[in-house]
Structure 1
Amino acid sequence: MANKAEAHWNKTRSLMFLTLAIWFFFSIVIFMFGSSLNNASFLGYPLAYYMCAQGSLGAFVILIFWSSGRQNKIDEEHGYGEDD
């Protein structure tokens, strides 16, 4: 039983670190290179402006649903699903 819980925690921890890395990228890294991003445009707006106004918010919503789905798969794989 302990080995099963340890395997579950290892996968959950890996997912958590990946989720935090993606969050860090969309919340910090993109804005560090804002002046470089302004050379490109999206829907007529400079790319850095678009990422501040809409892009990061969309990425965060997608990240929430993706992370939740992956965690449900991990839980079911190790017998901790809602149906078990």
Structure 2
Amino acid sequence: HEGGRTYCDTSRVWIDDYRKNLVMGLAPGGVVKTWLMGVCIDPIEVSRVQGRIVEKGPYDGLSEGHYYRPPNKESQAYIDKFGIPYGSW
């Protein structure tokens, strides 16, 4: 709830503003980070969490491991050839 006075390089003026955007970033390995951001104000990291694989699979295990909407042909061909690249981007 605290505002901040900061110099905005793009407009070359001093402004008073608040951090009012919550941004989520997904990274390889299932890491999710969140930041609180505002215009011309340095972001504050709010959280960093590690995702996990849900062993039941999609739809709480009620679909026998299949998704109701399969990937398109190009995506499925890539998955068949290379697998799902969980640890790489």
**TM > 0.5 between the two?**
no
If the length of structure 1 is used for normalisation, what is the TM-score?
A: 0.25
User: Structure 1 or 2: larger strand share?
Assistant: 2
Q: Higher Cα Rg: structure 1 or 2? A: 2
If the length of structure 2 is used for normalisation, what is the TM-score?
A: 0.24
User: Structure 1 or 2: larger helix share?
Assistant: 1
